[in-house]
Chain A
Amino acid sequence: MIEHFKHKASVQKALDKALAYQPKLNAMVSFLEPTSQLEALKAIDPSSPFYGVPIVLKDLVNMKGSITTGSSKILENYVSPYDATITQKLSAKGAIIIGKASCDTFGMGGTNMTAATGPVMNPYDLTRMSGGSSGGSAVLVASGVVPMAIGTDTGDSVRKPASYCGIVGMKPSYGRISRYGVIPYASSLDHVGFFTTTVKDAAITLEVLAGRDDKDMTSSNRPVEAYASLLKGDLKGQRIGILKNVIDSIQNQSTLKEFERLCQKLEAKGAICVPIQLNEDLMHAFLPTYYIIANAEATANHSNLDGLRFGVQKEGDDVEAIMSATRTAGFGKLLRKRFVIGSYALFIENQEKVFRKAQKVRRLIVEDLKKALSQCDVLMAPASSQGAPRLDDQSADQLSSEYLIAENFMALGNFSGYPSITIPFTLVDGLPVGINLTASAFEEAQLLDIAYGIEQVTQWADRTKELV
Chain B
Amino acid sequence: MMYETVIGIEIHCELKTKTKMFSSAPVTYGAQPNTCVNEIDLGHPGTLPSLNKQAVKLAIQACTALNLEIDPVVRFDRKNYYYSDLPKGFQITQQFHPIGSSGFIDIETSTGVKRIRINRLHMEEDTAKQYHVEDETWMDFNRAGTPLVEIVSEADIRSAEEAMKYVEKLRNILVYLDVTDGKMEEGSLRCDINISLRPIGTLDYGIKTEIKNLNSISNIAIAIAEEEKRQSALLEAGVAVQQATRRYDDVAKTTVLMRLKEGSVDYKYFPEPNIPPVRLNADWIQTIQAELPELPDARKERYLNLGLKEQDVQQLIQNKALSDFYDEVILHTKEVKLAANWCISEVMAVVDVKTLSQKTYRLDLKEFGAMLNAVGDQTISSKQAKEIFPHLLQAKKFNEVVTDLKIEQVSDTSILEAVIEATLNEQAQSVLDFHGGKDRALGFLVGQIMKKTQGQANPAKTSQLVLAALQKRKPE
Q: Does B137 contact A (CB under 8 A)?
A: yes
Known contacts A217-B275, A348-B266, A303 near B44 by CB under 8 Å: no
Expressed in whole angstroms, the Cα–Cα distance for A62 and B47 within the complex equals 10
B44 close to A82 (CB less than 8 A): yes
A304 close to B88 (CB less than 8 A): yes
Q: Which residues of B contact A299 (CB under 8 A)?
A: 80
Task: Give residues 262-311 of B contacting A (CB, 8 Å).
Answer: 266, 268-270, 273-276
A188 close to B273 (CB less than 8 A): yes
Contact sample, A vs B, 13 pairs, CB 8 Å cutoff:
A68-B45, A82-B38, A82-B39, A180-B48, A216-B274, A217-B274, A305-B45, A306-B82, A306-B84, A309-B44, A310-B44, A319-B137, A351-B270
A300 close to B78 (CB less than 8 A): yes
Expressed in whole angstroms, the Cα–Cα distance for A180 and B24 within the complex equals 14
Expressed in whole angstroms, the Cα–Cα distance for A343 and B82 within the complex equals 13
What are the 9 closest A-B residue pairs judged by CB atoms, nearest first?
A303-B89, A346-B268, A187-B273, A304-B43, A188-B273, A319-B84, A183-B45, A181-B46, A82-B39
A343 close to B274 (CB less than 8 A): no
Count the A-B residue pairs with Cβ separation under 8 angstroms: how many?
A: 102
Q: Which of B78, B84, B270, B274 contacts A308 (CB 8 A)?
A: B84
Expressed in whole angstroms, the Cα–Cα distance for A139 and B115 within the complex equals 69
Q: Does A184 contact B (CB under 8 A)?
A: yes
Q: Kindly provide the distance from the CB of B124 to the nearest chain A CB, expressed in whole angstroms.
A: 15
Q: Which residues of A contact B87 (CB under 8 A)?
A: 304, 309
Q: Which of A181, A216, A218, A348 contacts B268 (CB 8 A)?
A: A348
Q: Does B416 contact A (CB under 8 A)?
A: no
The number of residues on chain B lying at the interface, defined by a beta carbon within 8 Å of a beta carbon of chain A, is 30
B46 close to A300 (CB less than 8 A): no
Q: Which residues of A contact B80 (CB under 8 A)?
A: 299-300, 303, 346
B273 close to A297 (CB less than 8 A): yes
Expressed in whole angstroms, the Cα–Cα distance for A415 and B459 within the complex equals 88
Q: Which of B46, B89, B137, B269 contacts A184 (CB 8 A)?
A: B46
Closest B residue to A219 by beta carbon equals: B48
Expressed in whole angstroms, the Cα–Cα distance for A155 and B398 within the complex equals 79
Q: Hey, what's the 0/1 contact readout for B431-455 against A, CB within 8 Å counting as 1?
A: 0000000000000000000000000
Q: Which residues of A contact B269 (CB under 8 A)?
A: 346
A215 close to B46 (CB less than 8 A): no
Task: Give residues 17-52 of B contacting A (CB, 8 Å).
Answer: 38-39, 42-51
Expressed in whole angstroms, the Cα–Cα distance for A302 and B49 within the complex equals 15
Q: Which residues of A contact B266 (CB under 8 A)?
A: 347-348
Q: Which residues of A contact B325 (CB under 8 A)?
A: none
Q: Which residues of B contact A182 (CB under 8 A)?
A: 46
Expressed in whole angstroms, the Cα–Cα distance for A5 and B127 within the complex equals 47
Q: Does B104 contact A (CB under 8 A)?
A: no
Q: Kindly provide the distance from the CB of B230 to the nearest chain A CB, expressed in whole angstroms.
A: 30
Q: Kindly provide the distance from the CB of A157 to the nearest chain B CB, expressed in whole angstroms.
A: 16
Closest B residue to A355 by beta carbon equals: B270
Q: Which residues of A contact B49 (CB under 8 A)?
A: 217
Known contacts A214-B50, A215-B50, A300-B270, A75 near B45 by CB under 8 Å: yes
Q: Does A285 contact B (CB under 8 A)?
A: no
Q: Which residues of A contact B342 (CB under 8 A)?
A: none
Expressed in whole angstroms, the Cα–Cα distance for A466 and B89 within the complex equals 45
Expressed in whole angstroms, the Cα–Cα distance for A214 and B24 within the complex equals 11
Q: Which residues of B contact A348 (CB under 8 A)?
A: 266, 268
Q: Does A278 contact B (CB under 8 A)?
A: no
Known contacts A303-B88, A348-B266, A218 near B274 by CB under 8 Å: yes
Find the residue from B47, B78, B269 having the highest chain A CB count within 10 A.
B47
Expressed in whole angstroms, the Cα–Cα distance for A1 and B78 within the complex equals 45
Q: Which residues of B contact A217 (CB under 8 A)?
A: 48-51, 274-276
A70 close to B45 (CB less than 8 A): yes
Q: Does A442 contact B (CB under 8 A)?
A: no
Task: Give residues 178-214 of A contacting B (CB, 8 Å).
Answer: 179-184, 186-188, 214
Q: Which residues of B contact A82 (CB under 8 A)?
A: 38-39, 44
Q: Kindly provide the distance from the CB of A260 to the nearest chain B CB, expressed in whole angstroms.
A: 40
A62 close to B270 (CB less than 8 A): no
Q: Does B3 contact A (CB under 8 A)?
A: no
Q: Kindly provide the distance from the CB of A292 to the nearest chain B CB, expressed in whole angstroms.
A: 11
Q: Which residues of B contact A148 (CB under 8 A)?
A: none
Q: Kindly provide the distance from the CB of B352 to the nearest chain A CB, expressed in whole angstroms.
A: 40
Q: Does A78 contact B (CB under 8 A)?
A: yes
Closest B residue to A189 by beta carbon equals: B273
Q: Which residues of A contact B43 (CB under 8 A)?
A: 304, 309
Q: Kindly provide the distance from the CB of A180 to the nearest chain B CB, expressed in whole angstroms.
A: 5
Query: What would 14 more interface pairs be, CB under 8 Å, given A180-B46, A309-B87, A355-B270?
Result: A60-B46, A62-B46, A84-B46, A179-B48, A180-B48, A183-B46, A297-B273, A300-B78, A300-B89, A305-B45, A309-B44, A320-B82, A320-B84, A351-B270
A81 close to B48 (CB less than 8 A): no
Q: Kindly provide the distance from the CB of B170 to the nearest chain A CB, expressed in whole angstroms.
A: 31
Task: Give residues 177-193 of B contacting A (CB, 8 Å).
Answer: none
B46 close to A306 (CB less than 8 A): no
Expressed in whole angstroms, the Cα–Cα distance for A425 and B323 within the complex equals 78
Q: Does A437 contact B (CB under 8 A)?
A: no
A303 close to B90 (CB less than 8 A): yes
Q: Does A296 contact B (CB under 8 A)?
A: yes
Q: Kindly provide the distance from the CB of A28 to the nearest chain B CB, expressed in whole angstroms.
A: 20
Task: Give residues 212-235 of A contacting B (CB, 8 Å).
Answer: 214-218
Expressed in whole angstroms, the Cα–Cα distance for A305 and B88 within the complex equals 8
Task: Give residues 54-92 of B contacting A (CB, 8 Å).
Answer: 78, 80, 82, 84, 87-90
Q: Does A427 contact B (CB under 8 A)?
A: no
Expressed in whole angstroms, the Cα–Cα distance for A17 and B472 within the complex equals 123
Closest A residue to B22 by beta carbon equals: A217
Q: Which residues of B contact A78 (CB under 8 A)?
A: 45
Q: Kindly provide the distance from the CB of A148 to the nearest chain B CB, expressed in whole angstroms.
A: 20
Expressed in whole angstroms, the Cα–Cα distance for A297 and B274 within the complex equals 10
Expressed in whole angstroms, the Cα–Cα distance for A77 and B168 within the complex equals 51
Expressed in whole angstroms, the Cα–Cα distance for A188 and B51 within the complex equals 17
Q: Kindly provide the distance from the CB of B270 to the nearest chain A CB, expressed in whole angstroms.
A: 6
Q: Kindly provide the distance from the CB of A110 to the nearest chain B CB, expressed in whole angstroms.
A: 21
Closest A residue to B84 by beta carbon equals: A319
Q: Kindly provide the distance from the CB of B371 to the nearest chain A CB, expressed in whole angstroms.
A: 54
A81 close to B270 (CB less than 8 A): no
A181 close to B274 (CB less than 8 A): no
